[in-house]
Structure 1
Amino acid sequence: MRRERFHAFALEALGKGPDVRGAEPWDRGDHTVGLHVTFSTGAQVWISITTALAPGEKHESAEAPVHAEPPAEVPVPELYQDGSTTPEKVKHYLAAVMANSGCDEIALVYPYADDGHPGFGLQFHNGAKVFCLLVHSARPGQSPGAKYELQAAF
């Protein structure tokens, strides 16, 4: 799934998450395209999207989606503890919401290991990949500052 189509799909899928108030497009203006997700408490996270084409596919060629069995449904983990969340909880939560979307182009959705920047990835049946990195967060009522950073809890 190419970036433009994934972007539209992710906005719809994440917007249906049980603790999601809304999902909107995010374009930082520096070629960063992503998602701005607001949770039911008002906490927010901004996610950048990077994609890798299916093996052998070229940007100038038509996309060739492959439809097969979507990922098995997984339990959606708790997002909050004591009224706030963390990047660790968010990546697992969003990965579960995406896995449970029922999209038959998705082969696998996984949260990134705890070895760096939090986020989640998707692999499609045609071999294409999407990488979603959490790049900024804000507590309820807080507006994003000029510096993009993830808070330990928000």
Structure 2
Amino acid sequence: MLFDILDQASDITDAQPWQENDECPSGVEITFSTGARIWMAITGGSATGTDPTAPRPPPHRCLG
């Protein structure tokens, strides 16, 4: 859905998922008509009040 929306933007020439070393973090690389690029990371964190010693859920699948 995100890439469909970005494809409709007139000043965005390309949008691709990126991922480093087959692990998170991951994100979206956006190229603008000016040639400028931005790498937007998709990150997460624990909710306020979460017990930091509680077992973590299994990792999610990153973009790719």
Class of the TM-score when normalised by the shorter of the 2 chains: 0.5 to 0.7
TM-score, normalised via structure 2 length = 0.56
Which of 97, 109, 115 aligns to 2:15? It is 109
Report the counterpart of residue 136 of structure 1 in structure 2: 44
> Percent identity, aligned pairs only?
14
1:56-102 CA distances to partner (integer Å, 9 max, x unpaired)?
xxxxxxxxxxxxxxxxxxxx4xxxxxxxxxxxxxxxxx4x24434x1
> Between Structure 1 and Structure 2, how many residues are aligned?
51
| CA pair 111-130 structure 1, distance change in 2 beyond 3 A | same
Give yes or no for the alignment of 1:118 onto 2:26.
Answer: yes
Structure (1 or 2) with the greater strand fraction: 2
In the alignment, structure 1 segments of 5+ residues that lack a partner are: 1-75, 77-93
Q: Deviations over 1:24-69 (max 9, x none)?
A: xxxxxxxxxxxxxxxxxxxxxxxxxxxxxxxxxxxxxxxxxxxxxx
Question: Whose RCO is larger (CA < 8 A, sep 6+)?
Answer: 2
SS in 1 for 2:38: strand
The CA RMSD over aligned residues, in Å, is 2.8
Unaligned runs of 5+ in 2: 53-57
